[in-house]
Homo-oligomer: A and B are copies of this chain.
Amino acid sequence: MSKPQPLSGFPELLPRHRIVEQQVVDHLRHAFELHGFANVQTRSVEPMDQLLRKGETSKEVYVLRRLQADDANSDAGLGLHFDLTVPFARYVLENSGKLQFPFRRYQIQPCWRGERPQDGRYREFWQADIDIVDRDTLPAHYEIEIPLVMADALRGLPLPGITIHVNNRKLSQGFYEGLGIGDPEETLRIVDKLDKIGEEAVVRELQEKVGASLDQAEKCLALAKISSTDTSFADEVRALGVKGDVLEEGLEALTELVEVANKRAPGLVRADMSIARGLDYYTGTVYETFIDGQRDLGSICSGGRYDTLASDGKTSYPGVGISLGVSRLLVPMLRAGRLDASREVPTCVLVALSDEESRWEASDVAAKLRERGIAAQVAPAAQKYGKQIKFADKRGIPFVLFPATEEGGPEVRDIRSGEQEPVDLDSWTPPAADLKPGIVAAE
């Protein structure tokens, strides 16, 4: 077998980069749990009819087939999920009798899309989602809480600054309806492409595809250009002269969100009427998150409120959620060297080996350290001590421990300073910063 090549769109990390990813995910997980979110893990596959039910994602789905199946389509009923929202909605319906509502859950898993890999988009990528789902009705305060929880979870991580851009479907759709536009949903999808296709094309498509007049199309564009970090957006929207109950509901909801967020997390949110979200299922607040100064990279954390995604006909389970693109955020930073781990192994102490016969005694020494939570491994071979120290050095293992010999008791060496001193195996503890590898952020 010749040397394998990476598969485009399926990023894999070296061990030291994986340490960073793992610590970021652990940090998120801990934060979500502090906020009372329970973890759920759904299977990787869904029936194809589920996957194709909503939104414009059908082209991206990976269909499964068993290699030995009788014909090429015999197993084509299953595909890999392309997000964590659709599987979660299905999970809620399937287990509705066994879950307590409102149900707060987080989910951190890979998703798959058969897209052309480009622009930080991957064919396999990890997402971290939080959602709150209730039965029949969902209080609006969860639409405010969700972005605050995500921001809280990201706090303390060495990541670039972000702003969560918020809008409300009621505001946009109410505005289009107030304007007299016939197909508000298609209008949303066209406005959603503003960043990609530009203003002129949006105005043209609105005229061609939803039959808007030039004046209507320009008002839609004018709405999309309104944006503020305070609540002044509402007056700007009203100044466009469109009226309607749904629009007013949207304005009030978004105003409250901005007010609360500005008190609790100043600088976190921006009301931004260009945020539309392509997916059909959103019905209230919608979120997209941009790294400050890098909106061209696209949203790294998106979501919104959905009222009808999970419904069995009798009961509906409205929800609101937000999804962090873990791979999308981290992989480019890791590849650019902007994040790294302080060492590439969990090992804190290498137990040196004087001769091969003493391997299992050295192993007892390592076990003693592990009992007190200190990661330790025994040297692979009884080479010269200089070589064993080099072994530790290459991996960033900070300490080498020399077990007791006939000449004297055990000693521990900090291989960075070269300082070596006698050690009591039952009490010695490394400095807290050395116990586990940490994340190092480049300037």
Listed in ascending order, the chain A residues whose CB lies under 8 Å from chain B are: 1-7, 10-15, 18-19, 21-22, 33-45, 47-48, 50, 53, 58-69, 72-73, 75, 78-80, 90-91, 93-96, 98-100, 102, 104-105, 110, 112, 114, 124, 134, 139, 141, 145, 260, 263-264, 311-313, 344-347, 359-360, 363, 370, 373-377, 380-381, 394-395, 436
B residues within 8 A CB of A380? Answer: 102, 134, 139
Min C-beta distance of A346 to chain B, whole Å: 4
Min C-beta distance of A384 to chain B, whole Å: 17
Task: Decide yes or no: A38 and B19 within 8 Å by CB, A3-B312, A45-B10 being known contacts.
Answer: yes
B residues within 8 A CB of A145? Answer: 363
Min C-beta distance of A382 to chain B, whole Å: 11
B residues within 8 A CB of A40? Answer: 15, 18
Instruction: Pick from B12, B48, B100, B436: contact of A42, CB below 8 A.
Output: B12
A376:B36 contact, CB within 8 angstroms: yes
Min C-beta distance of A437 to chain B, whole Å: 9
B105:A346 contact, CB within 8 angstroms: no
Task: Decide yes or no: A375 and B35 within 8 Å by CB, A45-B7, A50-B4 being known contacts.
Answer: yes
| Known A4-B94, A15-B38, A35-B375; 16 more pairs at CB < 8 Å | A1-B53, A5-B94, A7-B43, A12-B43, A13-B41, A14-B98, A14-B99, A33-B436, A34-B374, A35-B376, A38-B345, A58-B68, A64-B64, A67-B79, A67-B114, A100-B394
Complex Cα–Cα for A124 and B80 (A): 12
B residues within 8 A CB of A62? Answer: 64-67, 75
B residues within 8 A CB of A110? Answer: 44
